[in-house]
Structure formats: structure tokens, C-alpha cells
Chain A
Amino acid sequence: MSPGTVALSIIFGIVAIGSCIGFLAGNKRQVNLEEWAVAGRGLGLVLVWILLAGETFTTFSVLGISGWIYSKGGPTLYVLVYLALGQVFMFFLGPSLWELGRRFGLQTLGDFFAQRYGGRLLAATVALAGVVFLIVYLQLQLTGLGIIVEVASFERVGRTPAMLVSTAVVACFILASGVRGVVWVSVLKDFLLVAVAVIVGIGLPYIHFGGIGPMFTALIKAKPGHLTMPGGTLNLTHSWFVSTVLVNSLFFAWPHFFGSIFTARNGDTVRRNSLIMPFYVMPLALIIFAGCAAILISPGLVNGDLALLTAVRATFPPWLLGVIGGAGALTAMVPAAIHILAASTLLAKNVYRPFFAPDMSDEKIAGVARIAVGVITVVALCLSLNSSATLVGLLILAYSGVAQFAPGIVLGLYSRRVTGKGILSGLLAGLALAGFLTFTHRDPFLGLNAGFIGLILNIFVLAAVSSLTSREPSGFDTPAAAVRTPT
């Protein structure tokens, strides 16, 4: 058999096993909206951990991080840092958010804003912005998947068919099993991803340089300055690092991450999960080592995203490339599934229902959400097949844009002075400023992350408007019995 056939059959096998797991996970369960969106709030520590790890470690963790260390160098460390620090926020916020979720039947980020601040405009704005950010994030996963399968199959499968087939599979198991399907596919994905990280992160340096230490010695000699900031860039300085780490560590505000809090069995599970999560960031360091080795093994690549796969293809036998390709495909499919799920629930529950069908039952909303799955999948697929400069801008904006939701969440929990109007004005101002800086190529601005500057304006505006508007009661003070319990 040719190397391409070997690799291709292994990729196909892994994706097929993953898909079967995804379909079977929802079997014999009645999948209503509560089960579909938050797994009936019944997941224990291990499954919640796997779900959140599944969401956190995306194709960016494999291709993006190795690509960054390859072309940009030292600034890449921001990823490890924000992932660990974000868990500190989760530690404090997670149990309270979970408890409010149980008490008021919250399933989405939009539900939180609707319950706390009342009205439908703020919740719908958050939901719509969240859907846009999720779709561009989803598009990134699909593009990454295309690259992985194309390179790992020795170009036997093109990007477009790889994306089409895997996206269709993802949409199907989301429809069949909801979030529980994602969790069980993620079990296989995490196991494979850690195995791959160990093999490439230790294997590449040992095979080519005789160890990780000698590899770094050779790299520091060949490219002095690459491994510290700003590395291979001009403007990713220490101030950029601090501001970017702070903005990105607010990732609990991503709608899919926020929604996953509610899948836990209790608040303590969420908290203990945030305790152990930094350990799972360590395999990413191995991916960074592999990317460093690729700098010397496969120099001169224009597209850094291909660095890791090119170095692996030059080093390991085809079957291992197949395993990496399959793991890579699942690493894209799991986050893609959870993005589709979160976006479709937001669209149905927090945009469609309040404006077009206020009396619709949760059961019918679940049907609308399933239609939204189809729409969102098709939109994201079209975007990944026709990438544009606007899309790249939107993707950069997604990370800094999501951080603009954070004040509404944190202050919604701990402050009684903030008002819905204040939060909405701050959010719009922060999004507008971050968007303006990003789309006019001024990010980083004065050495600071655009989202960070947006966040400062956001907090300033929300404080000003909140102090000018009259106090409102918090929706969290309502007795839970008055709230419609989800069916």
C-alpha cells in the first residue's frame, strides 16, 4: 500500500469511530432541550473536564500554536498563560453561575443576561454577537481540519471534500445526541491528542537532535532572539503580552464555554474542574517543543500552520501521520460541534423566541434550534470555502469581542449598581472600538491588545451610564418558583 492509502485509511477509521460514538451517546435518551443543550445538568467531574478540555484544545492548539512558535516565536507563550489564568476566573465564578443556572433554568449566555437584567434587547445583542463570533471560530476549525486531512493523507483527500464530509457528520451527531455526543467523542479525541503531543513533542527533538535540550541549544544558536518576545514579530511586545493574556483569560464569556458550566452535576464539580485544568495545558508545551523542532527541520515555510505536519511527515512513518491526521480531524470536529450547538441554541432561545414567538414552548424551541444547526453549519462551510480579509478581521475581533461580555457577567453577579442599559452601552462601545481598531489594522494599538482597549472603554461607559440610569432590581432576586422551569 502507498503511504497515502495507509494514512488515509487510519484517518478514516478514527473519524468513523468518533462519529459512531457521537451517534450512540444520545441513544435511548429522550433528547429534549435541557438534555440537548446542557446534558440534563448531570455530568460528573471527569466528563465535565473532558468537555471543557475538548472545547479548549482546538485545531488552533495543534496547528496554530506550532505555527505561531514557528513564525512568531516567543509571543506564543501567551496561550499557555491565558489558559491557566482563565481557570482562576472559572474557579470563582463557576459555582455561582452553576447555582443560578439550576435555580432559574439557564441554558445559554443569553439566558443569563435575560434573567439578570430583564428585557430582550441586551440578551439578543449578546446572543447575536456571540453567534457571529462562534461562526467565525467554527470556520477556523473547519479550515484547520481541511489542512490537517489534506497534508496527513499525502494530498489524497482535498481540503474541500474533507471539510464537507466531516461537517456533515458533525451536524448529524449534534442533531442526534446534543452536548452528550460531543462529550463522548471528546474522550477519544483527548486521548489521541495527548498521545500525539507526547509523540511529536518528544519524538521530533530526540530523532533529529538527540533530545529537547540539544534541540533548544541548536535553535538558540541558529535563531537568537526567536524564543523571547517580540521574537519573529515587530510589535508583539511585553505590553501586548500582558494585555492579551488578560483579555483572553476572560474566555469563560465564550457562549459555548459558559453553557458548558450548566452541564455539571453541581457547582463544586465546576470548581474542582478549574483546579485540575492547568495540568491539561502542559501537553500544549509539547506541541510548542515540536514547533520549535520544525523551525530547524523544515525551514522556510511561508505558511507556519503547515510547519508541524510538514516536519512530522518528513520524520515519522505514514501510519503515525494517519493517527495524527485522525486526531487532528477530531480536534476540529469536537469544538466545531460545540460551537454549532451553542450558536443554534442562542439563536433559537435568545433571538428568535423573544422577538418572533414569545409563547413558544421549550419543546418547539428545540425544533427551531435544530433548524438553526443546519443554517449555521452551511454558513460556516461557505465562509471556510471562500475566505476573505473581512473574515480574518472578524476572527481576530472574536477573541477581543467575547471579552466585552465579561463585565456584564462579573458585575451581574457581584454588583447591584449596574443596570441593563449601562451594560448594553458599554458592550456596544467596547465592540465598536475593538472592531474599529482591528479592521483598520491598528491592533495592537500603542502596544496594547485592541480588545483590552475596548474593555477599558466598555467599563468606563457602563459605569457612567449605570450611574445616570435609575437602579433596577436584579432578576436573580426573583424567587425561583416564579420562573418557568424548562421542560
Chain B
Amino acid sequence: MRLGSSAPRVNKRPSIGSIVLALFPFGGMCFSVALWDRVTPRVFGLPFNMFWILAWLALTPALMGIVYRIERKR
């Protein structure tokens, strides 16, 4: 890959660790749908699939917060 000549690159690729961490929400909420798309067990009165998604909505910012720290150090 040829690097940019005159201007410094702003579009630096993220680190492998960051990308792996960022793939977790995709695994948890998207690709694993067949595993969590069910009504039971009910958690806090919610159908399981809704509880699962809500839990990931809280977990995703936490994971990305770690990625934020990794990327800031680079």
C-alpha cells in the first residue's frame, strides 16, 4: 500500500484489538439472533429477546468505551 504523499494521513485504520472488541455487539445482537429470539425465560417480566437487546444496548457503550481508550492512546 502506497502511503499518502503531501498531507499526513487522517484516515488511519483502527487497531486489530479495537475491531475485535467492536465486533462483539454485532455477534451479540445481530448474528446470534437464532439463539436469543425466544420469549422464555422471562427476565424482569420481559420476554427474553427484549431483555437481551436491552442488555446489549447498555453493554455496547461500555465495550466501545474500552475501544475509545485504546484508540486514544494510539
* Chain A residues within 8 Å of B, Cβ to Cβ: 74, 77, 80-81, 84-85, 87-88, 91-92, 96, 99-100, 103, 211-214, 216-217, 220, 227-229, 238, 241-242, 245-246, 271-272, 274-276, 278-279, 281-282, 285, 288, 413-414, 416, 474, 476-480
Contact = CB atoms under 8 A, between A and B. Distances in A.
B46 A216 contact: yes
A278 B60 CA distance: 7
Contacts of A103: 7, 10
A285 B29 CA distance: 15
B68 A414 contact: no
Interface string B39-61: 10010111101100110111011
Given A77-B50, A103-B7, A480-B7, A212 B30 contact: no
A480 B13 CA distance: 21
B56 to A, nearest CB: 7
A480 B6 CA distance: 10
Contact of B49 (A92, A228, A245): A228
B60 to A, nearest CB: 5
A228 B38 contact: yes
B1 interface: yes
A275 B71 CA distance: 13
Residue with the highest number of chain A CB atoms closer than 10 Å, among B1, B13, B26: B26
Given A81-B30, A92-B22, A281-B57, A227 B39 contact: yes
B37 A213 contact: no
Contacts of B65: 275
Contact of A211 (B45, B50, B60): B45
What 7 pairs between A and B have smallest CB-CB spacing? A213-B45, A99-B10, A413-B11, A96-B11, A81-B29, A477-B4, A245-B30
A238 B34 contact: yes
B49 A91 contact: no
Interface residues of B, number: 41
Given A84-B25, A271-B68, A278-B57, A227 B49 contact: yes
A241 B12 CA distance: 32
B53 A88 contact: no
Contacts of A413: 11
Given A74-B37, A77-B49, A85-B26, A282 B54 contact: yes
Contact of B53 (A80, A216, A477, A478): A80
Interface in B11-34: 11-14, 18, 22, 25-26, 29-31, 33-34
B33 A246 contact: no
A100 B13 CA distance: 15
B10 to A, nearest CB: 4
B64 A477 contact: no
Nearest to A246: B30
A245 B29 CA distance: 9
Contacts of B57: 80, 84, 278-279, 281-282, 285
Nearest to A473: B5
A228 B22 contact: no
Contacts of B33: 229, 238, 241-242
A111 B72 CA distance: 28
A87 B61 CA distance: 9
Contact of B2 (A87, A217, A241, A416): A416
B26 A88 contact: yes
A227 B42 CA distance: 12
B61 A279 contact: yes
A216 B22 contact: no
A92 B15 CA distance: 11
Given A81-B53, A242-B30, A278-B57, A477 B7 contact: yes
A277 B14 CA distance: 20
Given A275-B64, A477-B4, A216 B37 contact: no
B37 to A, nearest CB: 5
Given A92-B14, A275-B68, A278-B61, A285 B39 contact: no
Contact of A242 (B11, B31, B38, B60): B31
A84 B67 contact: no
Contacts of B10: 96, 99-100, 103, 476
A476 B3 CA distance: 12
Given A85-B26, A100-B11, A272-B68, 10 more contacts: A84-B56, A99-B10, A212-B46, A216-B45, A216-B46, A217-B42, A238-B37, A278-B61, A477-B6, A479-B6
Contacts of B60: 84, 87-88, 278
A413 B49 CA distance: 36
B47 A476 contact: no
A359 to B, nearest CB: 26
5 contacts: A80-B53, A85-B30, A241-B33, A278-B61, A279-B58
A160 to B, nearest CB: 38
